[in-house]
Amino acid sequence: MKTLKKYVAMLALASLVLGPVQALAATNATTTLTVASGSAGTAPVVEATWIEETTPTAAHLESGDTTHLTYWVDASSTVSNSQILPPLVSGADKTLTVCSVVRDSPLSSISGVWADIYYPTLMDETHCANMLGNKQWPLTRVYDEMTQVTAAKNRFNAAVAAHLVRFATGKDSSIILQEIDDQATRIYCGTFLLNYEDPAGLYSFNVRAMDTTSLWGHQWDTFDYTGVAGIEIDFANYGLNYGIVNVNSWVQVDGDQPSVVPNAWTTAANPTVRNIGNVPVTMTVWQDRMGTAHDVDINYKARMGGSTATTVAYAPYTTVGLPDVLALSAYSKLDFYVNINKPIEGQTAYTGQLVLGSVGVPLGTCGSNPIPSNERFLASNI
């Protein structure tokens, strides 16, 4: 009988263990820590900073000024900045490298180096000086200060020769080169990406260095993402075919809008344009007389956008602007019209050349009007 009672007790225990688990009320615990604070010693010093462009432009370090003749320097000759062109390819990124020279005593106390990169304030409303990538970009030591002195000096000298380097107050290239020789400073670099549709303008970045006792050093710098107007069309290989036309009768070739017509970008018979630059654009149109005898024998019209867009008339060999604006990375339909007034007797087929161009439109400031007219833009034709 004792044995049976023991067996029953074991069954009850097993039932307790294997049965439904009861939830316990949540409990809280306070966590604390204290970061070491350097009341003694010196903080890291960010002695120099620069932005350089990586392959395929490594030979000249900046695509926007390959001969380094138009660098910007302030009155104290301590400030210059890189000039970078956008990739002008839809969806593409441009890889850039931010570098810094950091000194601390001892160098082994440097705990980390980061770059905070900020969009310009002269830009579109969606960015407005926010942090690029919404993150801090880490920089890592590139050269061992004990064994790679020559390589470190070569990297630094190349940036100095290209006028890319901004020096901290009281520093210059000769001082830093001596410190590299003395194994008293390090070069830290890291890469980041600019997208083709990131807005043009003067970007700022703050390189910050921290040591193991939470002492900080930093330096602000800038680089220029040069504004370039660029467009791409989906009918360049197909051409613009007006088809069979009647004399003295306007004929229209309708474009299509990607947001309205599926796969509109690949429907070459219906013209579409997209912005591949880093500024909003308007378009220009030029057309020859398509083999007619006189300029007055044929006339054209065009518009970018839907039925509410402005339709512009133009004569052969005359460049005109289409006033509607194509935003960053935006797509739009293009409509073209032709009216042949006087064909050549006996000739039915006519062929000509159409040239489409783009003109940069100033980006607005955050919550205000467009930027000053002295902003630099490069126009392009296709």
pLDDT band of residue 374 (cuts 50, 70, 90) is very low
Terminal Cα-to-Cα distance of the chain (whole angstroms): 101
User: Radius of gyration of the chain from Cα atoms?
Assistant: 32
pLDDT score of 60: 77
pLDDT tens per residue across span 87-125 = 999 999 999 999 999 999 999 999 999 999 988 865 554
Give the whole-angstrom CA distance, residue 346 versus residue 344: 6
- Of 355, 357, 354, 381, the closest CA to residue 241 belongs to 354
Q: Does domain 45-228 have CATH number 1.10.3470?
A: no
Whether 22 shows a pLDDT value over 90: the answer reads no
Q: Max alpha carbon distance in the chain (Å)?
A: 125
Place of tokens 């104290």: 76
Q: What percent of the chain has pLDDT over 90?
A: 59
Domain 231-381 has CATH 1.20.120: no
Compute the distance between CA of residue 166 and CA of residue 135 in angstroms, rounded to an integer.
23
Candidates 136, 178, 176; CA nearest to 46 is: 176
**Structure confidence at residue 261 (pLDDT):** 75
Identity at 133, one-letter amino acid code: G
Fold match between 45-228 and 231-381? yes
What is the rounded distance in angstroms from the CA atom of residue 208 to the CA atom of residue 218?
4
Q: What is the pLDDT of residues 239-256, one digit of tens each?
A: 999 999 999 999 999 998
The highest-confidence range among 38-52, 120-134, 344-358, by mean pLDDT, is 344-358
Give me the pLDDT at residue 120, please. 81
How confident is the model at residue 355, as a pLDDT? 95
Q: Work out the pLDDT band at 145, boundaries 50, 70, 90.
A: very high
**Mean pLDDT throughout 52-76?**
70
What pLDDT score does 9 carry?
35
Residue entry with tokens 């205000």:
368
The pairing of strands 216-225 and 83-84 is parallel
3-state secondary structure the chain: CHHHHHHHHHHHHHHHHHCCCCCCCCCCCCCCCCCCCCCCCCCCEEEEEEEEECCCCCCCCCCCCCCCCCCCCCCCCCCCCCEECCCCCCCCEEEEEEEEEEECCCHHHEEEEEEEEECCCECCCCCCCCEHHHCCEEEEECCCCCCCHHHHHHHHHHHHHCCCCEECCCCCHHHHHHHHHCCCCEEEEEEEEEECCCCCEEEEEEEEEEECCCCEEEEEEEEEECEECCEEECCCCCCCCCCCCCCCCCEEECCCCCCCCCCHHHCCCCCEEEECCCCCEEEEEEECCCCCCCHHHEEEEEEECCCCCCCEEECCCCCEEEEEEECCCCEEEEEEEEEECCCCCCCCCCCCCEEEEEEECCCEECCCCECCCCCCEECEEC
pTM of the model: 0.80
How far is 247 from 42, CA to CA, in rounded Å?
85
Which residues touch 171 (CB under 8 Å, ≥6 apart)? 47, 48
Q: What percent of the chain has pLDDT over 70?
A: 78
Alpha carbons 267 and 261: distance in angstroms, whole number:
9
The model's confidence at residue 126, banded by pLDDT at 50, 70 and 90, is: low
Encoded tokens for 138: 């880490």
Secondary structure of 21-48 in the HEC alphabet? CCCCCCCCCCCCCCCCCCCCCCCCEEEE
Read off the pLDDT of each residue in 131-143 and give the average, rounded to a whole number: 85
Q: How far apart are CA 70 and CA 164, in angstroms?
A: 11
Listed by start position, the domains of the chain span: 45-228, 231-381
Please compute the mean of the pLDDT values over residues 206-213 and round it to a whole number. 94
- Give the residue, 83 or 318, on which the prediction is more confident: 318
pLDDT, mean of residues 272-283: 94
Q: Does the pLDDT value for residue 5 go beyond 80?
A: no
Q: Which residue would you say has higher pLDDT here, 62 or 73?
A: 62
